Protein backbone atom coordinates (compact mmCIF):
# COMPACT_ATOMS: atom_id res chain seq x y z
CA UNK A 1 0.00 0.00 0.00
CA UNK A 2 2.79 2.41 0.93
CA UNK A 3 4.56 1.73 -2.39
CA UNK A 4 1.30 2.36 -4.28
CA UNK A 5 0.79 5.68 -2.49
CA UNK A 6 4.37 6.68 -3.33
CA UNK A 7 3.83 5.92 -7.04
CA UNK A 8 0.51 7.78 -6.98
CA UNK A 9 2.23 10.76 -5.40
CA UNK A 10 4.84 10.88 -8.16
CA UNK A 11 2.10 10.69 -10.81
CA UNK A 12 0.18 13.56 -9.26
CA UNK A 13 3.37 15.60 -9.02
CA UNK A 14 4.11 14.94 -12.68
CA UNK A 15 0.58 16.02 -13.62
CA UNK A 16 0.93 19.21 -11.61
CA UNK A 17 4.25 20.02 -13.26
CA UNK A 18 2.72 19.44 -16.69
CA UNK A 19 -0.23 21.66 -15.82
CA UNK A 20 2.14 24.41 -14.72
CA UNK A 21 4.21 24.15 -17.88
CA UNK A 22 1.20 23.88 -20.19
CA UNK A 23 -1.82 25.98 -19.21
CA UNK A 24 -5.13 25.30 -20.92
CA UNK A 25 -5.33 28.03 -23.56
CA UNK A 26 -8.18 29.31 -25.70
CA UNK A 27 -7.20 31.26 -28.82
CA UNK A 28 -9.94 33.49 -30.22
CA UNK A 29 -8.24 34.34 -33.53
CA UNK A 30 -6.01 32.57 -36.09
CA UNK A 31 -3.23 35.16 -35.78
CA UNK A 32 -3.03 34.36 -32.06
CA UNK A 33 -2.97 30.65 -32.83
CA UNK A 34 -0.09 31.17 -35.28
CA UNK A 35 1.81 33.07 -32.59
CA UNK A 36 1.19 30.35 -30.00
CA UNK A 37 2.42 27.72 -32.45
CA UNK A 38 5.60 29.71 -33.07
CA UNK A 39 6.16 29.79 -29.31
CA UNK A 40 5.77 25.99 -29.13
CA UNK A 41 2.46 26.17 -27.26
CA UNK A 42 0.14 24.41 -29.72
CA UNK A 43 -0.13 21.43 -27.38
CA UNK A 44 -1.58 23.75 -24.73
CA UNK A 45 -4.44 25.02 -26.91
CA UNK A 46 -7.79 23.46 -25.96
CA UNK A 47 -10.14 25.67 -27.99
CA UNK A 48 -9.96 27.96 -31.02
CA UNK A 49 -12.08 30.46 -32.91
CA UNK A 50 -14.45 29.35 -35.63
CA UNK A 51 -11.98 30.77 -38.17
CA UNK A 52 -9.14 28.47 -37.12
CA UNK A 53 -8.15 25.26 -38.88
CA UNK A 54 -6.94 23.28 -35.88
CA UNK A 55 -9.03 20.19 -35.09
CA UNK A 56 -10.20 21.53 -31.73
CA UNK A 57 -13.50 22.71 -30.23
CA UNK A 58 -14.68 26.07 -31.54
CA UNK A 59 -15.29 28.96 -29.15
CA UNK A 60 -16.92 31.53 -31.41
CA UNK A 61 -15.09 34.53 -32.82
CA UNK A 62 -13.55 37.76 -31.62
CA UNK A 63 -16.83 39.67 -31.83
CA UNK A 64 -19.07 36.92 -30.44
CA UNK A 65 -17.19 34.54 -28.14
CA UNK A 66 -19.18 31.43 -27.18
CA UNK A 67 -19.48 31.56 -23.38
CA UNK A 68 -20.92 28.04 -23.07
CA UNK A 69 -18.14 26.51 -25.16
CA UNK A 70 -15.50 28.46 -23.22
CA UNK A 71 -16.91 27.37 -19.85
CA UNK A 72 -16.95 23.72 -20.95
CA UNK A 73 -13.24 23.77 -21.86
CA UNK A 74 -12.15 24.94 -18.38
CA UNK A 75 -9.36 27.21 -19.66
CA UNK A 76 -6.59 28.78 -17.63
CA UNK A 77 -5.99 31.59 -20.12
CA UNK A 78 -8.01 33.21 -22.90
CA UNK A 79 -6.25 35.22 -25.61
CA UNK A 80 -8.32 37.35 -27.96
CA UNK A 81 -7.95 40.42 -30.14
CA UNK A 82 -8.49 43.94 -28.85
CA UNK A 83 -11.39 43.98 -31.30
CA UNK A 84 -13.26 41.96 -28.69
CA UNK A 85 -14.95 44.55 -26.49
CA UNK A 86 -13.63 44.53 -22.93
CA UNK A 87 -17.11 44.15 -21.44
CA UNK A 88 -17.90 41.18 -23.68
CA UNK A 89 -14.64 39.46 -22.77
CA UNK A 90 -15.42 39.98 -19.10
CA UNK A 91 -18.86 38.39 -19.55
CA UNK A 92 -17.52 35.22 -21.18
CA UNK A 93 -14.44 34.75 -18.99
CA UNK A 94 -14.94 32.16 -16.21
CA UNK A 95 -13.99 33.06 -12.68
CA UNK A 96 -10.26 32.88 -11.86
CA UNK A 97 -9.34 32.66 -15.57
CA UNK A 98 -6.84 35.12 -17.05
CA UNK A 99 -7.96 36.95 -20.20
CA UNK A 100 -5.84 39.10 -22.52
CA UNK A 101 -6.78 41.40 -25.41
CA UNK A 102 -3.92 41.52 -27.94
CA UNK A 103 -3.16 44.13 -30.56
CA UNK A 104 -1.18 43.35 -33.68
CA UNK A 105 -2.96 44.84 -36.68
CA UNK A 106 -1.16 48.19 -36.85
CA UNK A 107 2.58 47.48 -36.92
CA UNK A 108 5.38 44.96 -36.58
CA UNK A 109 6.10 46.37 -33.12
CA UNK A 110 2.64 45.30 -31.98
CA UNK A 111 3.35 41.76 -33.18
CA UNK A 112 6.48 41.69 -31.05
CA UNK A 113 4.52 43.07 -28.07
CA UNK A 114 1.93 40.32 -28.55
CA UNK A 115 4.63 37.66 -28.40
CA UNK A 116 5.93 39.16 -25.17
CA UNK A 117 2.43 39.13 -23.67
CA UNK A 118 1.83 35.53 -24.73
CA UNK A 119 5.20 34.42 -23.40
CA UNK A 120 4.93 36.19 -20.08
CA UNK A 121 1.38 34.97 -19.49
CA UNK A 122 2.47 31.37 -20.14
CA UNK A 123 5.71 31.77 -18.18
CA UNK A 124 8.19 31.20 -21.00
CA UNK A 125 11.46 32.03 -19.28
CA UNK A 126 13.45 33.18 -22.31
CA UNK A 127 10.63 35.07 -24.03
CA UNK A 128 12.52 38.38 -24.24
CA UNK A 129 15.41 36.65 -25.99
CA UNK A 130 13.11 34.82 -28.40
CA UNK A 131 11.26 38.00 -29.32
CA UNK A 132 14.62 39.70 -29.80
CA UNK A 133 15.59 36.94 -32.22
CA UNK A 134 12.31 37.41 -34.11
CA UNK A 135 13.01 41.14 -34.39
CA UNK A 136 16.48 40.49 -35.76
CA UNK A 137 15.18 37.85 -38.20
CA UNK A 138 12.51 40.00 -39.81
CA UNK A 139 14.77 43.06 -39.91
CA UNK A 140 17.44 40.99 -41.67
CA UNK A 141 14.85 39.66 -44.13
CA UNK A 142 13.51 43.08 -45.14
CA UNK A 143 17.04 44.40 -45.58
CA UNK A 144 17.77 41.54 -47.97
CA UNK A 145 14.66 42.34 -50.04
CA UNK A 146 15.63 46.04 -50.52
CA UNK A 147 12.88 47.07 -52.97
CA UNK A 148 14.61 50.41 -53.68
CA UNK A 149 11.43 52.52 -53.60
CA UNK A 150 9.32 50.39 -55.94
CA UNK A 151 5.78 51.85 -55.95
CA UNK A 152 3.35 49.20 -54.70
CA UNK A 153 -0.21 48.48 -53.61
CA UNK A 154 -1.29 45.59 -51.39
CA UNK A 155 -4.75 44.06 -51.78
CA UNK A 156 -6.37 41.04 -50.17
CA UNK A 157 -7.77 39.51 -53.37
CA UNK A 158 -9.24 40.29 -56.77
CA UNK A 159 -12.67 38.80 -56.08
CA UNK A 160 -15.39 39.07 -53.45
CA UNK A 161 -14.97 42.26 -51.43
CA UNK A 162 -11.25 43.05 -51.68
CA UNK A 163 -9.50 45.57 -49.49
CA UNK A 164 -6.29 47.54 -49.69
CA UNK A 165 -3.83 47.84 -46.80
CA UNK A 166 -3.36 51.39 -45.53
CA UNK A 167 -0.82 53.16 -43.34
CA UNK A 168 -1.79 51.76 -39.94
CA UNK A 169 -1.52 48.08 -40.85
CA UNK A 170 1.22 45.54 -40.23
CA UNK A 171 1.68 44.88 -43.95
CA UNK A 172 2.10 48.55 -44.79
CA UNK A 173 4.76 48.71 -42.08
CA UNK A 174 6.45 45.49 -43.22
CA UNK A 175 6.57 46.34 -46.94
CA UNK A 176 7.72 49.89 -46.20
CA UNK A 177 10.54 48.47 -44.07
CA UNK A 178 11.38 46.22 -47.04
CA UNK A 179 11.99 49.31 -49.20
CA UNK A 180 8.70 49.58 -51.11
CA UNK A 181 6.98 52.94 -51.53
CA UNK A 182 3.37 52.12 -50.74
CA UNK A 183 1.05 54.53 -52.54
CA UNK A 184 -2.14 53.81 -50.57
CA UNK A 185 -3.19 56.87 -48.54
CA UNK A 186 -5.95 55.35 -46.40
CA UNK A 187 -5.15 55.26 -42.70
CA UNK A 188 -6.20 51.64 -42.20
CA UNK A 189 -8.13 49.26 -44.47
CA UNK A 190 -9.77 50.55 -47.65
CA UNK A 191 -12.72 48.38 -48.65
CA UNK A 192 -13.20 48.35 -52.40
CA UNK A 193 -16.91 47.99 -53.16
CA UNK A 194 -19.92 49.72 -54.67
CA UNK A 195 -20.89 52.87 -52.81
CA UNK A 196 -17.40 53.52 -51.43
CA UNK A 197 -14.97 56.20 -52.58
CA UNK A 198 -13.21 53.65 -54.81
CA UNK A 199 -15.56 50.97 -56.13
CA UNK A 200 -13.29 48.77 -58.26
CA UNK A 201 -9.67 47.60 -58.27
CA UNK A 202 -9.14 49.14 -61.72
CA UNK A 203 -10.16 52.53 -60.32
CA UNK A 204 -7.76 52.00 -57.40
CA UNK A 205 -4.89 51.32 -59.80
CA UNK A 206 -5.77 54.26 -62.04
CA UNK A 207 -5.85 56.55 -59.02
CA UNK A 208 -2.52 55.51 -57.45
CA UNK A 209 -0.61 54.17 -60.49
CA UNK A 210 1.61 51.64 -58.67
CA UNK A 211 4.36 49.78 -60.46
CA UNK A 212 3.42 46.50 -58.79
CA UNK A 213 0.23 45.13 -57.27
CA UNK A 214 0.63 42.41 -54.66
CA UNK A 215 -2.43 40.17 -54.36
CA UNK A 216 -2.54 37.91 -51.33
CA UNK A 217 -3.80 34.79 -53.07
CA UNK A 218 -1.74 31.78 -54.05
CA UNK A 219 -2.47 32.33 -57.73
CA UNK A 220 -3.93 35.14 -59.80
CA UNK A 221 -7.52 34.17 -60.51
CA UNK A 222 -9.73 35.09 -63.47
CA UNK A 223 -10.84 38.35 -61.89
CA UNK A 224 -7.21 39.47 -61.60
CA UNK A 225 -6.59 38.78 -65.26
CA UNK A 226 -9.60 40.91 -66.21
CA UNK A 227 -8.21 44.03 -64.51
CA UNK A 228 -7.14 46.50 -67.20
CA UNK A 229 -5.74 49.73 -65.70
CA UNK A 230 -4.77 52.68 -67.91
CA UNK A 231 -1.15 52.40 -66.76
CA UNK A 232 0.32 48.87 -66.99
CA UNK A 233 1.10 47.28 -63.63
CA UNK A 234 2.81 44.06 -62.62
CA UNK A 235 0.54 41.76 -60.61
CA UNK A 236 2.21 39.33 -58.24
CA UNK A 237 0.33 36.63 -56.30
CA UNK A 238 1.52 36.00 -52.75
CA UNK A 239 0.32 33.24 -50.41
CA UNK A 240 -2.20 34.91 -48.11
CA UNK A 241 -1.60 32.35 -45.35
CA UNK A 242 1.91 33.77 -45.01
CA UNK A 243 0.91 37.44 -44.94
CA UNK A 244 -2.65 37.97 -43.73
CA UNK A 245 -1.94 36.99 -40.11
CA UNK A 246 0.04 39.47 -37.95
CA UNK A 247 2.25 36.75 -36.52
CA UNK A 248 5.76 35.24 -36.97
CA UNK A 249 4.53 33.30 -40.02
CA UNK A 250 5.42 36.55 -41.80
CA UNK A 251 9.04 35.35 -41.80
CA UNK A 252 8.03 32.68 -44.31
CA UNK A 253 6.17 35.34 -46.25
CA UNK A 254 9.27 37.52 -46.47
CA UNK A 255 11.26 34.57 -47.77
CA UNK A 256 8.56 33.98 -50.39
CA UNK A 257 8.66 37.68 -51.35
CA UNK A 258 12.44 37.51 -51.81
CA UNK A 259 12.17 34.35 -53.92
CA UNK A 260 9.71 36.13 -56.25
CA UNK A 261 11.95 39.19 -56.65
CA UNK A 262 12.26 38.68 -60.39
CA UNK A 263 8.47 39.13 -60.70
CA UNK A 264 8.28 42.55 -59.06
CA UNK A 265 11.68 44.19 -59.70
Q: Enumerate residues 6+ apart whose C-beta is below 8 A from 26.
A: 45, 46, 47, 48, 59, 70, 73, 75, 77, 78, 79
User: Do 257 and 143 touch, CB atoms closer than 8 A?
Assistant: no
Q: What is the pLDDT of residues 133-164, one digit of tens each?
A: 999 999 999 999 999 999 999 999 999 999 99
What distance in Å separates the CA atoms of residue 265 and residue 263, rounded to the nearest whole number?
6
Helix (H) or strand (E) holding 68: helix 67-73
- Residue 49 inside a domain? The answer is yes
Residue 41's domain comprises 2-102
Query: Do 98 and 177 belong together in one domain?
Result: no
- Residue 122 inside a domain? The answer is no
pLDDT at 221: 87
Query: Do 178 and 260 belong together in one domain?
Result: yes
Query: Is the pTM value of this prediction over 0.85?
Result: yes
Q: Which of 13-27, 29-43, 223-237, 247-261 has the lowest mean pLDDT?
A: 13-27
CATH of the domain at 98: 3.40.50.1980
Number of domains present in the structure of the chain: 2
Q: What is the pLDDT of residues 173-227, one digit of tens each?
A: 999 999 999 999 999 999 999 999 999 999 999 999 999 999 999 999 889 989 9
Strand pairing category for 163-165 and 189-191: antiparallel
Query: Do 259 and 207 belong together in one domain?
Result: yes
Give the mean pLDDT of 46-72.
97
User: Which of 194 and 9 is assigned the larger pLDDT?
Assistant: 194
Helix (H) or strand (E) holding 71: helix 67-73
What distance in Å separates the CA atoms of residue 187 and residue 173, rounded to the nearest whole number?
12
Query: Do 82 and 192 belong together in one domain?
Result: no
Domain boundary among 45, 75, 102: 102
H helices, E strands: number in the chain: 11, 10
Amino acid sequence: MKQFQLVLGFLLLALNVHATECPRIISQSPYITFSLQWLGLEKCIVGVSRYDRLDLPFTGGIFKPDKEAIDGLMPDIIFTSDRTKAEILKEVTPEDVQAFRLKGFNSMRQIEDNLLTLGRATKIKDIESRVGDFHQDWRKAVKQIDAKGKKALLISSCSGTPYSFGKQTWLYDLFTQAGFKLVETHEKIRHIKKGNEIEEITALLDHFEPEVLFVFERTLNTQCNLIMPKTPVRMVAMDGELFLHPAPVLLKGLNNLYQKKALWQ
